[in-house]
Each structure stands twice: as C-alpha cells, then as structure tokens.
Structure 1
C-alpha cells in the first residue's frame, strides 16, 4: 500500500547511496522547499474552489460551473488574472514596508508547516517544542498585517489593520489556553508525541466534556484569528472596502489572499493533530478487530480528511452567521471565552492529576 513514510524512506536510502551527507542535506532541503511551495499552490486552488462550492451549497445555487468540468479550473483562471494584473504602489505609501508586508505574512505561513506531522514519520521538523513553536511563530503574522495597513497611507487600511491586531492578540489567548489543555493531558509539547498519545482514542473523546469545551473554544478562536466571518471586522467590505489590503493589487494581493487560506489549513491541521489524533486512525480501546481495519487506511488520508472536515466547519460558519460588531467581537473574547478557557484549563489540570481521563 502506498504511504508517504515508505516514499521518504526510499528517497533517503537512494540519496545516502549516491551522495555524501552534506549533499544529502542540501538536496533534501531543496526538495522540502519545492514541496512546500507546491503544497501552497495546490491548497490555494483547492480551498478557493471549495469555499465557492460550499457557499453555493449553503445558498442553494451552483457556484463556479463554466471554466472546466464543474468549474474546477475557475481558480486557475483567477490566478492567471492576478499574475497578469499590474501591481500598484500608492504615491504616499512607505514603499519598502508596503512591498515587504505580504512576504512576511507568507513566510510565517511557510514556517508553520515545519512541525506539523502530515502522516506517520512524515514531518519536516519534529521539534521538541512544536506546540510552542506554532503558537509563537503564528503571532508574527500580525506584524505583516499592521505593516500593510500603516504603510498604505490609507485610513481604511490603517483602521482595518488596527482591528485585525486587536482581534488576533485577543483571540490568541483563548486559542493558546485550549492548546495548553491538550499539552496538560499529554505532558509533552512535541506534536509527534501528542499524536502517539491518541493511539487508543482521540483526545476529543478521551478528555470527556472539558476536551470538547476546549475544542469548541479553539475552533471559535482560530476562526477569529484568521479574520474569517463572522469575525471579519478587519476586512468588513461595507465599512472598510477591503480592510488592510485595500491598496494592494496583482501578486501582492494574491499573496495576502493565499496566506488567508494557508492559515486556515494550518490552524485546522493543528486542531486535527491536538484533538482528533492527527494522522492516527480512529482506535477504540481494546477493539482489536475494528482498530486493525482502521489501520488499513493510509495515515495521510486520515490526516487530510480530518483537516478538510475542520476547514468545511469554518467555511460553514462564514455562510451561516452574520458579522459581529467590533465591540461584540471583543466582548465575546474577554467576557466569555477567556474566563471559560481559564476555568476549563483548571478542570483539565485536575482531571489529568487525578487520572480521570480514559
């Protein structure tokens, strides 16, 4: 059966047989970079099409259906259009920061791919502080957003950037506390060990009601962190035209657009890894027969299936709930989600100490 683990092992053996260790490292690094860029490109095409199809389904319409069978090449046509458009820089803008901002957002997204285990033994960097790495690096993206809004010399862009900064900083607290809940249960910050700890059941089920509460808060918080509706105050078209990227066009706008969907994929990957077992198949206690059958499904299929289920959930939110006002958005975090997260973390800590989980 095809597996990403077998593919990487075969490639490693072939390189070791033909190259010295230094060149093996160089070649493997280049392969990783090319695969990351290819993954970004494919995810951008797939997720934009998925967004449109999900929106069409929620609104009982067809969605893209002209360019290619069932409209599957519509996003390719949109990409070609963005590549051909001229990239404009406003006269009064800070040109260096204006051009740098979209690259910072994309670089942060690429760094976040490193510790995520996509399949069994298929991971760029199995760092022993993987959870901390994801939480710390993801916080840097707000710098790119603030930089884009300020350097554009546009009041709508600046207001959108300030909203986005307040929103991301606020909801990072609840998302971080939800992540710490799983760290408390596993006793490790290494993502591969967190996945291994779910061999006899996913933490969403093993952790009882507190784990479910942590999962719900995590999904709400990361939806807000990625500036997705109903938390898209930073890009509220009816108030701020396009928010912090109002002045961007061409490929610079495409980088912001792509980074949004890549960030959705990353936060859903983290959620699937922490709460749904990552690439780990669905195992139930000592049900050997059932567990053996689940093991026949490749680990990469399990991982991407869980991730796209969470992505669908976030897209479902967008086309179901109306946009919140900025005061409602911050009240939800500071008055409700944060206190509940703190109490829930205390409950999970007590549960871990007493050994009340499965």
Structure 2
C-alpha cells in the first residue's frame, strides 16, 4: 500500500502532466497559430482573421460575441473543430498501418520532451498543509538535454514513415528531405550546447535555471558571479552557441527558411500531402509543439529559464522576495517564476513567427551546405574556443 507521501508525489506528478500538456502546451499551439496569422497579416499588409467569435447567433442572438472585443480570436478553435468534423479520407494505395502510425510518432515525442523542462522554481503550498514544496518540473533528470535530444530525434521516424507509407512521389521526396535535414542539423544542435554544459558543469536543467537566477543569465550576466571577467569573456562562445542552436532549431522544426520538406511550390505539401482531418492536425500540432519545446530549451539554457531578470536590483525597490531560495520560496514567487518562463517562451515563439514571414526559403543544397560546411565546423571550433577560454580565464 502506498504511503501518504507517495500518494502526494503521485498526485503532484499527474497534476503537473495535466497542467503542462493540456492546459499550457496544447492551448499555446492554438495561441501560436492565431498570432502567426495576425503577425503574417501585419507583415504582408493584410487584415488577417477578424470574424470568428463565439457563435451566439446559433442560439437566437443578433450578434456573435467577440472575446475582449478582438475579432477572429476564436479562429484557432474554429480550425480545430473543422479538423475534427472533416472526413478522414484515406487513399486506397497507402500502407495503412504505417500511414496511421506516422502522425502519432510525430506528435508524441514532441509532447514527451516537455517532461524535463523546469517551467518554474517550486510551489510552496505550506498553507495547504504540505510540508515539502512542489518542484515545477515533471521529471527532474540529471541528463535533461540528452533526454530531450534523444526523444526529439524519434520524430524523424514519423516523417519518414509518412512520406513512405503515402505511396506517392511528393510525400516520399518530402520525407527524404526531412530525414536528411533533421539528421544533419542534429549534429550542430547537439554540439552547440556543449560550451553551455562546460560552463555549468552539469546536465540538470533545474540547477541551470537556479544558477542563472543567482549569477545572471548566460546571455545577460549582469548580477552575482556574472559580473566577473571570466563570465564576460565566455560571452563570445555563448553567443556563437546561441546562434547555432537557434538556427538549428529552425531546421529541426521544419520552419521557414528551412521548410524544404513541405514547400508547396515544389512538393505540394510534402510528407503530409495525402493526410486529412485529425491526422493532418496531429502533424500540425507536432510541429508547433516542437517549436514550443525548442523555445523552452533555448530559454532554459541561455535566457535564465524561469528566473526574473535583474531581480537583485528590483528587490531594492519592490518589497517582494523574487529570487529562488530552496525550500522557503514564497508561493507568489513560484507563480511569478512560472509566468516569467512562459512569457519568455511566448516571446521566442513570436521570434519564430517573425522570421518565417520575413526571410525567403533556402534551396536544399544551400541548407545542407550550411549545416555540414558551416555550422558543424563552427560548433566544433566553438567547443575548442570555450575550453581555451575556460583554461585562460577559469571560473570560480
């Protein structure tokens, strides 16, 4: 029989899974789609979605309700409903089992990688009678980045199976392109974080966030030990790592300017050409979920994770405890840390969207040359540069 503490830990884990997956990531996919349409409309000088609201006219009212007075805010929900209600058409010549399996292999790894992301410091619920605070991470593993890359790499199987099982030339070419692209950029993506791990000296994402809370972000070392000369010198390889990581993440998630696997001008829709209804929606969801997790990883490694920027200076004017103190962090601070993390992730997603609607698409040979002839060598050289700088300017 489970002890009381085990039941509390189990309930906390289930609650974090439900919260992060069903109340954050999946709604954030819809929000990201809406903002993508709005931002693209602004960039292209269009109106964008401005009609869909809550359909009160179906119940006899004279006018639909627009939430917050913003037209089109329910467009993403309408699109989701459309996917559910559309006919699930399956072509006769597909390899049925793998055709059905491919969307699952795409969306599940994208959602599974979120378990190691610390989306806050801790939640102190002592006012409810809980002695131990709840860590705001589902699985506090000591190999967080390795787990993320290992699980995320499984997503390529879903794309390859989608292209092959569709038994059509355009999906097949899209699947081949996607597999070559994702495997190529995984090399530079993995190598780009090695300088970060060398500086932190560990692989636990929660401890990385706590370190940056106390000593300044890697890209913003303005307090604590971040004010030392060695940290400022190490900004050179960190900036290089951040650029390589970000660009490689664009390629890994098949986002413009690296969406050669599904470019409509050449391959109709690439590997999901033959998909419709909810199976197509799963591919759609997997892409945006991977973008959200990639943004969360970038925020955790380079931008302080859940830590509030400039908290040592803010505490002098704001009478609140804004920093992380293990075991005694106030409840409101845990909520502020959680809100800070999701705000950073959302801003990074907006950056993804702006880049998509700003830059033209690469040619496939340019994409592969950038990955193998530029980023791979640059990431290796950056590891060597970091080692030299850490030897010359040792961290305390």
TM normalised by structure 2 equals 0.81
Q: Which has the higher helix share?
A: 1
Deviation sequence 1:28-59 (CA, Å, 0-9, x none): 45434433133333012101001111111222
Q: CA deviation at 1:336?
A: 1.1
Task: Report the Cα distance in structure 2 between the residues aligned to 1:61 and 1:132, rounded to whole angstroms.
Answer: 42
Rate the CA distance shift 1:193–1:33 in 2: closer, same or farther, 3 A.
Answer: closer
Deviations 1:98-118 (A, max 9, x none): 101111112101210100000
Where does residue 101 of structure 1 map in the other structure? 102
1:119-168 CA distances to partner (integer Å, 9 max, x unpaired)? Answer: 11210000011111011111110011101111111110010011000000
Whether contact under 8 Å (2:170, 2:270) holds in the other structure is yes
SS in structure 2 of the partner of residue 125 of structure 1: coil
Distance in structure 1 (CA, Å) of the matches to 2:317 and 2:200: 24
| CA drift at 1:204 | 1.4
**Residue 189 of structure 1 pairs with residue 227 of structure 2:** no
Match for 2:246 among 202, 213, 219?
Answer: 219
User: Do residues 259 (structure 1) and 286 (structure 2) align?
Assistant: yes
Over the aligned positions, Cα root-mean-square deviation in angstroms equals 2.3
Corresponding position of 1:31: 15
**Which residue in 1 is equivalent to 2:295?**
268
The answer to whether residue 306 in structure 2 is matched with residue 279 in structure 1 is: yes
Alpha-carbon separation, structure 2, partners of 1:40 and 1:273: 16
Q: 1:278 to 1:294 in 2, by over 3 A?
A: farther
Distance 2:139 2:317 in 1: 32
Higher deviation after alignment, 291-300 or 157-166: 291-300
Per-residue CA distance 1:260-287 (angstroms, 9 max, x = gap): 1111000000000000010011138889
Work out the CA distance in 2 between the residues paired with 1:331 and 1:291: 51
1:137 to 127, 148, 151: 151
Separation (CA, whole Å) in 1 of partners of 2:8 and 2:339: 28
Going from structure 1 to structure 2, the CA distance change for 1:293 and 1:356 (only over 3 Å counts) comes to farther
Q: Contact conserved, 1:228 with 1:318, CA < 8 A, in 2?
A: yes
**1:258 offset after TM fit, Å?**
0.8
Residues 275-309 of structure 1: CA distance to partner in whole angstroms, max 9, x if unpaired? 00100111388896379779278111221121112
Question: Number of residue pairs matched?
Answer: 341
In the other structure, the counterpart of 2:38 is: 53
Equivalent residues of 1:200, 1:283 under 8 A apart: no
Match of 1:203 among 218, 228, 231: 218
Does 1:318 pair with 2:356?
yes
2:140 pairs with 1:126: yes
3-state SS of paired residue (1:298) = helix
Q: Describe the superposition over 1:292-333 as per-residue Cα deviations: whole angstroms up to 9, x where unpaired.
A: 779278111221121112111111111111111100100111
SS in 1 for 2:220: helix
Distance apart, 1:208 and its partner CA: 1.3
Q: 1:239 to 1:135 in 2, by over 3 A?
A: same
**Structure 1: distance between partners of 2:191 and 2:111:** 24
Provide the rounded CA distance (Å) in 1 between the counterparts of 2:196 and 2:179: 26
What pairs with 1:55-94 in structure 2 (closer than 5 Å)? 55-68=40-53, 69-94=70-95
Q: CA deviation at 1:344?
A: 1.1
Cα offset for 1:24?
4.1
The structure having more radius of gyration, on CA atoms, is 2
Match of 2:257 in 1: 230
